[in-house]
């Protein structure tokens, strides 16, 4: 619908047109100086020197006119820009504001995405911070906030040594937390949950950021870590079926991912963590019910996830090097230390990522997975299958899933019925160079939380 033009714009446009008409009329009628082309006979009767002098006068006159004209055009250009600027302000005050494409908005006013590093008593946080600073393209767009719990002096000294490269904040409550007797050995998980809550409130409420990327102190980041989150930020903000973006693939071990597809991204129903981005709006939703402990498994519960998904990569953009912690190295020796960290810089911000939109993604996903031939674990292990796939291995119960996952070498645990890295119950991975989908039967509708 066309809008009524403001009086300011109409007046400005009229002045611009009128001024230029007057300018052209004046220049055309401008009197020439003595010795100009008004007297061709006199010019013909003079000597060579006179002709040269008069020609020089003519050229000087032409240059003066040209310079005056050029200066006037520059002046008019400035007037037009002022008119345009006032018109834009007027438009934005109107009842209807012109829609601005998301990509243009991102480009003209890039959002600041802080990196929150959760730290405690690991002096090896230096490895994490060194890589963040090495790969960070802009300190202004990606401020680093290190939130430290535990009061460990040596770790605090390491963090402080970075000076103005980061902001160091300290969780003030270091007291023990009353826990049920059966959870006495889990005191560390209670303190971690308390720390996360405090740190998130600092980022969103004290520093007033709208988005954050959370990194633990035992993570090393890939060269395109920042590029990855920058490109996916608009999608996270605009798609209500998403609630996080993760840099982690739980099954991202060497040999289980395609090294030629570093740009490949997936939707997943499993909350991956380990380098993840979420928004202030989500924090406002979950903060009032934040759990006393085991916050990551709590995030995987249907009451929190609410059928929303995360984005995760084929090849992880983070690598964990922290074997020792409150989990006592659970999964580390068998899985985590073998995770492949991406080394190829992928220009995600220049790519079309619209295929991640739920409707488009689901249609393609269904065709890809359920169009693949069904094979057995034995078929895959025999090495007799030809081609690169994809192939589908079908499970029908939690026990069959766990047995197949163990035999195929992928993580076999389920959280509220959701397999690690799974989407609609399907786990995608590479086995001996062949794409494999470990999937429920066609017609899958929902997860069963009792599958745990």
Task: Give domain status of residue 84, yes or no.
Answer: yes
Calculate the CA 186 to chain-centre distance: 34
Question: Regarding predicted confidence, which is higher, 183 or 70?
Answer: 183
Q: What pLDDT score was predicted for residue 287?
A: 98
**71, 98, 125: which is the final residue of a domain?**
98
Q: CB-hemisphere CA count at 13 Å for 76?
A: 17
Q: What is the 3-state secondary structure (H, E, C) of 25-64?
A: HHHHHCCCCCCCCCCHHHHHHCCHHHHHHHHHHHHHHHHH
User: 418 in helix, strand or coil?
Assistant: strand
Kindly report the pTM of this predicted structure: 0.76
Average pLDDT over residues 80-98: 37
Last residue of a domain, one of 49, 73, 98: 98
Give the residue-averaged pLDDT of 49-62: 47
Grade residue 394 by pLDDT with cuts at 50, 70 and 90: very high
Bridge-based pairing of strands 434-439 and 391-394 is: parallel
Q: What distance in Å separates the CA atoms of residue 7 and residue 2, rounded to the nearest whole number?
A: 15
Distance CA 395, CA 393 (A): 7
Q: Give residue for tokens 């009792």.
A: 450
- pLDDT tens readout for residues 262-311: 999 999 999 999 999 999 999 999 999 999 999 999 999 999 999 999 99
Of 111, 101, 337, whose CA–CA distance to 226 is shortest?
111
CATH number at residue 168: 3.90.550.10
Beta partners for residue 215, in sequence order: 117
- Residue 107 is predicted with a pLDDT of 52
Quick check: 309 and 267 in contact, CB under 8 A? yes
Does the annotation count 296 as an active-site position? yes
| 99, pLDDT greater than 60 | no
Determine the Cα–Cα distance for residues 452 and 446; give it in Å rounded to an integer: 14
Q: Helix 125-135 to helix 225-238 angle, to the nearest 10 degrees? A: 80
Check whether residue 164 and residue 254 sit in a common domain: yes
User: According to the per-residue pLDDT averaged within each range, which of 56-65, 80-89, 121-130 is highest?
Assistant: 121-130
Give the residue among 205, 198, 202, 154 at the shortest CA–CA distance from 177. 198
Share of the chain above pLDDT 90, in %: 72
β-partners of residue 148 are 119, 170
> Would 88 be classed as within a structural domain?
yes
Q: Is the pLDDT of residue 402 over 80?
A: yes
pLDDT at 439 over 50: yes
Please tell me whether residues 147 and 294 are part of one structural domain: yes
Q: Give the CA angle between residues 93, 98, 102 to the nearest 5°.
A: 120
Question: How far is it between the farthest Cα atoms of the chain?
Answer: 120
Structural domain including 22 reads 7-98
14 pLDDT tier (thresholds 50, 70, 90): low
Residues 155 and 123: their CA atoms lie apart, in Å, by 5
Evaluate whether residue 1 is within a structural domain: no
From 356, 355, 388, 395, select the one nearest 372 (Cα to Cα). Answer: 388
Judged by DSSP in three states, 235 sits in helix
Q: Is residue 370 over pLDDT 80?
A: yes
The string over 291-327, giving b where at least 16 C-beta atoms fall within 10 Å of a residue's C-beta and e elsewhere, is bbbebbebbbeeebbeebbbbbbbbbbbbbebeebee
pLDDT for residue 225: 98
In this predicted structure, what is the pLDDT of residue 383? 87
Interatomic CA distance for residues 53 and 75, integer angstroms: 33
Instruction: Specify the CATH number for the domain of residue 375.
Output: 3.10.180.20
What mean pLDDT, rounded, does the chain reach? Answer: 83
Classify residue 387 by burial, with Cβ atoms within 10 Å: 0-12, 13-18, 19+.
exposed
Residue 105: pLDDT over 70: no
Residue 379 lies inside a defined structural domain of this protein: yes
Annotated active-site residue in 239, 258, 296, 297: 296
- Return the number of other C-beta atoms located less than 10 Å from residue 160's C-beta: 12
Domains contained in the chain, number: 3
Identify the band that residue 333 occupies on the pLDDT scale cut at 50, 70 and 90: confident
Q: Mark whether 176 and 312 lie in a shared domain.
A: yes
Task: Please give the pLDDT value at position 371.
Answer: 98
**Residue 391: what pLDDT?**
98
Q: Name the pLDDT band for 104 (thresholds 50, 70, 90).
A: very low
With respect to residue 362, please indicate whether it lies within any of the assigned structural domains.
Answer: no
Give a yes or no: residue 228 inside a domain. yes
Instruction: Give yes or no for residue 177 having a pLDDT over 90.
Output: yes
Among the candidates 78, 98, 118, a domain finishes at: 98
Measured CA to CA, the distance from residue 422 to residue 33 in angstroms comes to 86
Say whether both 39 and 90 belong to one domain: yes
365 belongs to a structural domain = no
**Both 196 and 331 in a single domain?**
yes
With 80 as the cut, is the pLDDT of residue 51 above it? Answer: no
pLDDT of residue 72: 52
**Is the model's pLDDT at 109 over the cut of 90?**
no
Instruction: Note the pLDDT of residue 38.
Output: 39
**Strand pairing category for 318-320 and 219-221:** antiparallel
Q: What is the pLDDT of residue 18?
A: 54
Q: pLDDT band at residue 202, thresholds of 50, 70 and 90?
A: very high
Determine the 3-state secondary structure of 277 from DSSP: strand
In this structure, the answer to whether residues 91 and 153 fall within a common structural domain is no
Which of 289, 274, 294 lies closest to 185 in space, CA to CA?
A: 294
Dist. CA 144–CA 39, nearest whole Å: 78
**Same-domain status, 111 and 27:** no
Mean pLDDT of 150-157: 98
Q: What is the Cα Rg of the chain in Å?
A: 33
The mean per-residue pLDDT over the stretch 364-378 comes to 97
Give the residue from 238, 277, 443, 275 showing the smallest Cα distance to 358.
Answer: 238
Backbone angles phi, psi at 352, to 5 degrees: -85, 110
* 226-265 pLDDT tens trace: 999 999 999 999 999 999 999 999 999 999 999 999 999 9
Residue 325 pLDDT grade (very low, low, confident, very high; cuts 50, 70, 90): low
377 shares a domain with 337 = no
Share of the chain above pLDDT 70, in %: 74
200 and 340 in a single domain? The answer is: yes
pLDDT at 332: 80
**Two tokens, residue 145:** 């906030």
Which pLDDT tens digit goes with each residue over 343-355? 999 999 999 999 9
Do 80 and 127 lie in a common domain? Answer: no
Tokens at 54, concatenated: 């008069």
Q: Of 397, 394, 398, nearest to 379 (Cα)?
A: 394
**Does residue 295 sit in the same domain as residue 264?**
yes
pLDDT of residue 2: 38
- 133 and 276 both lie in a single domain: yes
Q: Does residue 2 fall inside a structural domain?
A: no
> What is the side-by-side order of every strand in the sheet holding 276-279?
167-170, 144-148, 115-119, 211-216, 276-279, 242-246, 309-313, 265-268
């Amino acid at each position: 619908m066309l809008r009524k033009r403001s009086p300011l714009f109409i007046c400005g446009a009229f002045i611009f047109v009128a001024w230029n008409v007057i300018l052209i009329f004046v220049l055309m009628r401008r009197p020439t100086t003595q010795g100009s082309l008004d007297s061709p006979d006199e010019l013909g009767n003079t000597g060579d020197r006179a002709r040269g002098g008069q020609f020089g006068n003519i050229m000087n006159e032409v240059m003066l006119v040209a310079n005056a004209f050029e200066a006037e055009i520059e002046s008019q250009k400035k007037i037009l820009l002022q008119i345009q600027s006032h018109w834009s302000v007027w438009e934005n005050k109107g009842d209807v504001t012109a829609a601005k494409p998301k990509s243009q908005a991102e480009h003209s006013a890039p959002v600041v995405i802080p990196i929150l590093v959760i730290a405690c008593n690991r002096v090896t946080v230096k490895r994490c911070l060194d890589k963040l600073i090495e790969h960070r393209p802009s300190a202004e767009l990606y401020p680093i906030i290190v939130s430290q719990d535990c009061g460990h002096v040596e770790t605090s000294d390491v963090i402080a040594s970075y000076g103005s490269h980061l902001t160091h904040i300290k969780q003030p409550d270091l007291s023990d937390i009353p826990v049920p007797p059966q959870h006495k050995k889990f005191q560390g998980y209670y303190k971690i949950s308390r720390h996360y809550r405090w740190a998130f409130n600092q980022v969103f409420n004290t520093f007033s950021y709208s988005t954050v990327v959370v990194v633990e102190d035992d993570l090393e980041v890939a060269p395109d870590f920042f590029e990855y989150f920058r490109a996916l930020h608009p999608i996270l903000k605009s798609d209500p079926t998403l609630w996080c973006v993760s840099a982690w693939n739980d099954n991202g071990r060497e040999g289980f991912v395609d090294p030629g597809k570093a740009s490949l991204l997936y939707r997943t129903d499993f909350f991956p963590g380990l380098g993840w981005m979420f928004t202030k709006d989500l924090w406002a939703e979950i903060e009032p019910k934040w759990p006393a402990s085991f916050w990551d498994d709590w995030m995987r519960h249907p009451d929190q996830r609410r059928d929303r998904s995360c984005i995760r990569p084929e090849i992880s953009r983070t690598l964990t090097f922290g074997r020792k912690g409150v989990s006592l190295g659970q999964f580390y020796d068998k899985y985590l230390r073998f995770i492949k960290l991406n080394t190829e810089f992928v220009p995600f911000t220049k790519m079309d990522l619209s295929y991640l939109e739920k409707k488009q993604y689901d249609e393609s996903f269904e065709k890809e997975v359920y169009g693949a031939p069904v094979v057995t674990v034995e078929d895959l292990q025999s090495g007799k299958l030809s081609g690169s796939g994809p192939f589908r291995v079908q499970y029908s119960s939690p026990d069959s899933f766990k047995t197949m996952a163990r035999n195929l070498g992928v993580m076999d645990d389920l959280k509220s019925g959701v397999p690690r890295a799974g989407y609609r119950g399907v786990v995608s991975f590479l086995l001996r160079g062949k794409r494999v989908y470990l999937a429920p039967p066609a017609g899958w509708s929902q997860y069963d939380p009792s599958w745990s």
